[in-house]
Structure 1
Amino acid sequence: MSPLLLADLTVFTLALLVGFEVISKVPATLHTPLMSGANAIHGVVLVGVMLLAATTTDVSGYILLAVAAFFAAMNVTGGYVVTDRMLAMFRSRR
């Protein structure tokens, strides 16, 4: 196993553990607003996909980028949909 792959897997594992620990401490009333905001921030992933697309040269890279772009776009859209539904709860009814 290459040292770079091992370092990447270590960072990924630590990010999973820290993310789980942080999210598990959030009260249930704040979970939905926090997650909808985090999903909307995934637009940064879309920017990363565009930057990596400029440097990819093989088919497997393009396939992985397409999958990443698809999931990031779903996350961004879902974040905005959930936020809109939350804001609709506070609008006055006429």
Structure 2
Amino acid sequence: MSGIGGLYLILLAAVAGYLLIARVPSILHTPMMSGSNFIHGIVLAGAMLALGNAQGTIEQVIGFIAVTAGAANVVGGFVITDRMLALFNHKSMKRGSSSTAGGRHNPVGEDRRLPGAKNRPLSRSESVPVTRKGTDRSSGDNA
């Protein structure tokens, strides 16, 4: 393959990869990252095989660089996946309590506060006062 053909192939792969990843919904990015970690592991195994079969010094240096880059890629992929999964963890999950404690689901966490109360969390019986258009809470008149 000529140099122009190789450059064309790399450019085509980059554009196709960008177009495919840009169309993936955000909910699927975490499983996609886990799948790419698997592929990076295969690349790392191939680099180790190539390094093991290297004959000369130049081949050994290139193989060492390939193994180092592959290992960094695998570790980086797992770090990014861990950070993405941490976005889904809530405070209530970290404490070991269930998110449906007491029959009520609170997806934001256990810390429910009134807008004006800075340090006092809401109890189970309290609720945030809601005023609707045409309703005056202070006089009890629903006009």
TM range, normalised to the smaller chain? Answer: 0.5 to 0.7
What is the percent sequence identity of the aligned residues?
Answer: 32
When normalised by structure 1's length, the TM-score is 0.68
Given candidates 34, 37, 44, the residue that maps to 1:37 is 34
Contact 1:40 1:80 in 2 (8 A): yes
Match of 2:94 in 1: 93
Shift of 1:76: 0.9
Structure 1 residue 13 corresponds to structure 2 residue 11: yes
Superposed CA RMSD:
2.8
Measured against aligned partners, the alpha-carbon deviations of 1:10-39 in whole angstroms (never above 9, x if no partner) come to: 543332222122122234x24752563254
User: Partner letter of residue 73 of structure 1?
Assistant: A
In structure 2, C-alpha distance between the alignment counterparts of 1:83 and 1:36, rounded to whole Å: 6
The verdict on how the C-alpha distance between 1:33 and 1:67 changes in structure 2, with shifts beyond 3 A counting, is same
Contact 1:36 1:78 in 2 (8 A): no
Matched residue SS, 2:83 = helix
Give the 3 Å change call, closer, same or farther, for CA 51–8 of structure 1 in structure 2: farther
Q: Please identify which structure carries the higher helix content.
A: 1
Larger RCO: 1 or 2 (CA < 8 Å, sep 6+): 1
Kept in 1: contact 2:51–2:60 (CA 8 A):
yes
Gaps of 5+ in 2: 96-143
Please report the TM-score for the alignment, with normalisation by the length of structure 2.
Answer: 0.49
Aligned residue pairs, count: 91
